[in-house]
């Protein structure tokens, strides 16, 4: 099946710094990617929909200036957590749809962000 | 809007016990339904899916049937193993849209 690769898998950063998370579709072109956030022992909450070549669509309550999304190519979307604070610590997961299998989304391995 | 309601956990079973995790949904139209599994520290892996009413998805001994009349997609396995311990998410999606997830059910299987 299609593979989505997310990097890094774990990152620890200091409060006030920015962190970039990459999401790559390895064997297909993804015009749309999705970014989710998962709090401990909770479900995944959609943060934003990333569209190649255009602005991301953010869910209500998600700060677009804090969570910058760039989808510059058909195989790469990035999420940058700007001026990170401890409350941003979470598990972030991206997903992408393979146009050849439109009913299924493929997920990255996730990124555990810890802000200290 | 679309939503998924999933049986709350945690669920603890002995090895070889029968597993059922209930999932019901609310949606317009005819979404596709999924079960994903998440092992500790990892992302989500697709376990099985069904794209239309009365379809049965199956994989690794797990099964779920798309029941439109009861808007349900319950996950079942006849004999669980310790290696099945994980968090299970029910989800729905319309083509080319994002997925909506249930809250997740943590399963622990004891030897």
Q: Check: CB of residue A35 under 8 Å from CB of residue A94.
A: yes
pLDDT of residue A81: 97
How far apart CA A94 and CA A36 sit, in angstroms, is 6
pLDDT of residue B4: 93
Q: How does pLDDT run across A10-41, given as a tens digit for each residue?
A: 999 999 999 999 999 998 888 889 999 988 77
A33's tokens: 């990617």
How far apart CA B26 and CA A105 sit, in angstroms, is 20
Q: How does pLDDT run across B25-75, given as a tens digit for each residue?
A: 999 888 999 999 998 877 888 999 999 999 999 999 999 999 999 999 999
pLDDT of residue A2: 63
How far apart CA A69 and CA A53 sit, in angstroms, is 11
> Using the beta-carbon criterion (under 8 Å), do B43 and A46 form an inter-chain contact?
no
pLDDT of residue A103: 67
Report A:70-109 residues touching B (Cβ under 8 A): 93, 95, 97, 102-109
Q: How does pLDDT run across A75-107, given as a tens digit for each residue?
A: 999 999 999 999 999 999 999 987 776 667 888
């Amino acid at each position: 099946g299609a593979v989505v690769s997310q990097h890094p898998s774990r990152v620890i950063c200091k409060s006030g710094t920015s962190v970039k998370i990459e999401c790559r579709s390895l064997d297909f072109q993804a015009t749309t990617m999705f970014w989710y956030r998962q709090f401990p022992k909770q479900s995944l909450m959609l943060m934003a929909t990333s569209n190649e070549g255009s602005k991301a669509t953010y869910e209500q309550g998600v700060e677009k200036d804090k969570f910058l999304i760039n989808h510059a190519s058909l195989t790469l979307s990035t999420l940058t957590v700007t001026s990170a604070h401890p409350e941003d610590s979470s598990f972030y997961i991206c997903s992408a749809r393979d146009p050849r299998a439109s009913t299924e989304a493929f997920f990255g391995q996730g990124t555990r962000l810890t802000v200290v | 809007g679309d939503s998924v309601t999933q049986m709350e956990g945690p669920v603890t079973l002995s090895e070889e016990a029968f597993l059922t995790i209930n999932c019901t949904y609310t949606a317009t139209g005819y979404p596709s339904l999924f079960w994903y599994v998440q092992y500790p520290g990892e992302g989500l892996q697709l376990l099985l899916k069904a794209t239309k009413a009365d379809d049965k998805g199956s994989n690794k001994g797990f099964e779920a049937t798309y029941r439109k009349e009861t808007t349900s997609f319950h996950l079942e396995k006849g004999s669980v193993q310790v290696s099945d311990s994980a968090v299970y998410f029910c989800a729905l999606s319309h083509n080319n849209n994002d997925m909506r997830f249930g809250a997740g059910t943590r399963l622990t299987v004891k030897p």
